Chain A
């Protein structure tokens, strides 16, 4: 089956610093990847759609200058949380979409970000 990795799995950073999260599809190419955010006991919230070779598409209310997304290759997308604040603490999950069949999304294991 398709495997998606995400790194780091956990990160603690100080307020005002930036954090980069990597999402890789290990055994398939993904033209499209997605970045989600999830608060405790809440459902997934789509932040943005990452398109290889073009700009990401952000959902309403998500600051694109704060959450920088780069999809440099068919197997790698990165999310950078700039000038992080405690309210950015959350569980960030990426997924990669298979561009054939029923377009299933495979999820990375998630990154737990804590901003102190």
Chain B
């Protein structure tokens, strides 16, 4: 079967760093995406990893280990506007996205 796990909710402080983990077991793998979704809005693309290692993009970085079926999204210098849900998704062998349930990130001042 296919399974993607990520924490349901996390809380962090403004200005701090937070790491959101995602573990997966899927029948095929053509890459892993991270999306951000604010309440009542559609998801927006954050990052894509298909090779092992760290991809850095400004305050956000994403890491992938294919052998471990593991990824994380690292958010630095947290801002209040980063309060949102973060969705991990796997691109399967048919190039279809398999979605995790999302992690709600709450930023406190």
Contact = CB atoms under 8 A, between A and B. Distances in A.
Interface of A: 6, 34, 41-44, 46, 49, 91, 93, 97, 102-110, 112
A102 B30 CA distance: 8
Main secondary structure of the interface of B (DSSP, over half): loop
Contacts of A106: 45
A105 B97 contact: yes
Nearest to B96: A49
Contacts of B104: 41
B33 interface: yes
A42 B91 CA distance: 20
Contacts, number: 45
Interface stretch (B11-19, B36-44, B58-66): B36-44
B42 A108 contact: yes
Contacts of B44: 107
Given A43-B100, A49-B96, A97-B95, A104 B33 contact: yes
A102 B91 contact: yes
B95 A103 contact: yes
B91 A107 contact: no
17 contacts: A6-B42, A34-B96, A43-B99, A43-B100, A43-B102, A44-B87, A46-B96, A46-B97, A97-B95, A102-B31, A104-B33, A104-B48, A107-B42, A107-B43, A107-B44, A110-B41, A110-B42
